[in-house]
């Protein structure tokens, strides 16, 4: 393992301000583009439900997608911990290989009886590898770009949202070559992912030192509290002793539940509600991926201007209203607009939450802290698709399904209203509402400073 991989080496980018950080950013986006193919699942789900193929029910076809999202949390937790010790390159490359192997393994599930193999390969193995890869650019790029936390984390995960743009039409074309066995498409996709991930993750590394965000932040801190990361860095344990960690995780969970409920059934809903053909529905899913990716950039940038919690109010509110309207959107154009807004806001939560975690808890341990928060992604990713599929059912009760999810999302607007940034006192302890927890936090902080000094 090289010194530069762990961020301990010297070179032209020791402050994180050199040109190489832009190369790393481009490669990070390409990496996220590859693993973001998971958002094209509705194209495969629709093919698996076809009588020409496996004839699975809507609920059964949703299981692999729910499993892969559920496994992401485990992968992000492991990846977030390991990258602090091993550096971003080795963790991202390892996760990339695991993800690609899982997708390739799923291609051998070539009969209705091989459901378990699809769940194991695409869901369990692929989801774990995906999580390991996903968390690395988020933590790494906040260290390279402390002056633009919201915008850069938005860019870092934008590729993930854009993944469906490429995979949906390519996947549909591969499915059309073998419509009776749609899983064969995963072989070529997995090989492509493997090549891209190995090449792009090879340039990953941390800067030799994490620059101070306050040196380039705006002086008007009252306009945007997210411009500075605070007076100290929390450890993952300290962060989890604050109520803010749980509130932020709940906000992410509710946004994921709302958006992914549509994502999981987007192709089928487009056909049944708005009259799209199979080909046009697949094309729409691809186009919607643009909004998923763009939302991560847009809301990340906007949150740097208006503040984090106002941004989340917009994200949850727009999703809730649009979900209520979607089952009534018989017009193809209106359906596309409403769906695009949901995708935009769904992506926005992922573009805004990493910098929010960095703002609340500091960037030094944000990989592990945000990796733990991504349990909200797993919870929403399991609950959302299964709930919407069961509510819609064989009767195609889209009105019931989207109304329930929409109302739940609007109720969740209370969460950003009660979430405030934790405050720090002069000696660097956090206000957690527990005096004993504060004393423990102070002790750990002093120890952490000593460890940091030794390093």
Ordered by where they begin, the domains of the chain are: 20-208+233-441 (1.20.1250.20)
Is the pLDDT assigned to residue 440 strictly greater than 70?
no
The residues, any chain, with a CB within 8 Å of residue 421's CB and separated by 6 or more, are 225, 230, 244, 359, 360
In the predicted model, is pLDDT for residue 231 greater than 70? no
User: Cβ(149)–Cβ(304) under 8 Å?
Assistant: yes
CB 64 within 8 A of CB 103: no
pLDDT of residue 413: 97
- CA-based nearest residue to 416, from 310, 342, 317: 310
**Per-residue pLDDT tens for 251-309?**
999 999 999 999 888 888 999 999 888 788 888 887 887 898 888 889 988 988 899 99
Instruction: State the CB neighbour count (10 A cutoff) for residue 127.
Output: 29
Which position has the higher pLDDT, 145 or 434? 145
- Beta-carbon contacts of 250 under 8 Å, excluding residues fewer than 6 positions away, are 376, 412, 415
Check pLDDT > 60 for residue 131: yes
The closest of 391, 287, 357 to 142, measured between CA atoms, is: 357
Closest CA relative to residue 268, chosen from 281, 259, 258? 281
Mean pLDDT of 439-448: 44
Give the pLDDT score at 430.
45
User: Residue holding tokens 């091989």?
Assistant: 114
Predicted pLDDT at 111: 86
Average pLDDT, the chain: 80
pLDDT cut 70: percent of the chain above it: 83
Dist CA 314 CA 135 (whole Å): 25
8-state DSSP, 132: H
Calculate Rg over the CA atoms of the chain: 21
CA 22 – CA 239 distance, rounded (Å) = 30
What stretches of 145-242 show up as alpha helix (H) in DSSP?
149-177, 185-201, 236-239
Residue 168 CA to residue 214 CA, distance in Å, equals: 42
Q: pLDDT class for 4, splitting at 50, 70, 90?
A: very low
Helix axes 88-106, 126-144, angle to 10 degrees: 150
Gap between the Cα atoms of 32 and 138, Å rounded: 10
Torsion angle of alpha carbons 182, 282, 344, 71, nearest 10°? Answer: -10
Q: Please report which helix (H) or strand (E) contains residue 301, including its range.
A: helix 278-306
> Number of helices and strands (H, E) in the chain?
18, 0
Residue (of 347, 339, 333, 267) closest to 301 by Cα position = 347
Q: What is the mean pLDDT of residues 112-137?
A: 91
Share of the chain above pLDDT 90, in %: 31
Give the pLDDT of residue 424: 57
Distance from C-alpha of 453 to C-alpha of 234, rounded to nearest angstrom: 16
Q: What is the pLDDT of residue 209?
A: 62
Q: Are 354 and 142 in contact (CB under 8 A)?
A: yes
Position of tokens 């500075």? 228
Q: Which residues of 376-401 are buried (b: 16+ CB within 10 A; e: fewer)?
A: bbbbbbbbbbbbbbebbeeeeebeeb
| Average of per-residue pLDDT across 129-152 | 82
The predicted pLDDT at position 279 comes to: 81
Which residue's structure tokens are 């009252």? Answer: 222
Rounded Cα distance, 142 and 179, in Å: 43
The residues, any chain, with a CB within 8 Å of residue 22's CB and separated by 6 or more, are none
Put simply, whether the predicted model's pTM sits higher than 0.85 gets the answer no
Cβ neighbours of 212 (radius 10 Å):
13
State mean pLDDT over 130-139.
87
């Amino acid at each position: 393992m090289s010194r530069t991989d762990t961020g301990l080496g010297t070179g032209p980018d020791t402050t994180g301000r050199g040109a190489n950080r832009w190369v790393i950013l481009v490669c990070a986006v390409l990496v996220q583009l590859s693993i973001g193919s998971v958002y094209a699942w509705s194209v495969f789900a629709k093919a698996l439900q076809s009588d020409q193929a496996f004839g699975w029910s809507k609920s059964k076809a949703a299981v692999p997608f729910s499993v892969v999202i559920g496994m992401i949390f485990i992968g992000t937790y492991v990846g977030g911990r390991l990258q602090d010790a091993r550096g971003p390159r080795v963790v991202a490359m390892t996760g990339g290989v695991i993800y690609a192997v899982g997708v390739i393994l799923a291609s051998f599930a070539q009969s209705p009886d091989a459901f378990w193999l699809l769940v194991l390969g695409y869901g369990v193995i692929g989801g774990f590898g995906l999580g390991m890869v996903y968390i690395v650019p988020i933590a790494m790029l906040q260290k390279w770009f402390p002056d633009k936390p919201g915008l850069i984390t938005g860019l870092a995960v934008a590729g993930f949202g854009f993944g469906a743009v490429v995979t949906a039409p390519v996947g549909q074309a591969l499915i059309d070559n073998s419509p009776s066995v749609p899983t064969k498409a995963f072989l070529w996709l997995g090989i492509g992912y493997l090549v891209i991930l190995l090449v792009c993750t090879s340039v990953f590394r941390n800067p030799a030192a994490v620059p101070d965000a306050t040196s380039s932040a705006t002086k008007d801190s009252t306009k945007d509290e997210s411009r500075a990361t605070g007076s100290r860095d929390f450890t993952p344990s300290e962060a989890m002793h604050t109520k803010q960690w749980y509130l932020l995780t709940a906000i992410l969970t509710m946004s994921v539940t709302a958006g992914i409920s549509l994502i999981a059934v987007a192709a089928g809903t487009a056909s049944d509600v708005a009259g799209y053909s199979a080909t046009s529905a697949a094309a729409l899913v691809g186009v919607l991926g643009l909004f998923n990716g763009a939302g991560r950039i847009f809301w990340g940038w906007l949150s740097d201007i208006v503040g984090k919690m106002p941004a989340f109010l917009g994200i949850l509110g727009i999703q809730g209203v649009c979900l209520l309207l979607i089952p009534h959107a018989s017009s193809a154009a209106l359906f596309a607009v409403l769906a695009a807004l949901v995708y935009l806001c769904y992506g926005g939560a992922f573009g805004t939450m990493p910098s929010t975690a960095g703002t609340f808890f500091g960037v030094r341990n944000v990989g592990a802290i945000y990796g733990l928060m991504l349990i909200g992604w797993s919870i929403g990713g399991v609950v959302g698709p299964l709930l919407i599929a069961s509510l819609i059912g064989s009767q195609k009760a889209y009105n019931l399904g989207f109304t329930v999810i929409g109302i739940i999302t609007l109720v969740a607007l209370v969460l950003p209203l009660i979430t405030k940034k934790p405050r720090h006192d002069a000696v660097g302890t956090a206000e957690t509402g527990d005096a004993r927890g504060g004393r423990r936090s102070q002790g750990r902080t002093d120890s952490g400073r000593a460890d940091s000094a030794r390093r």
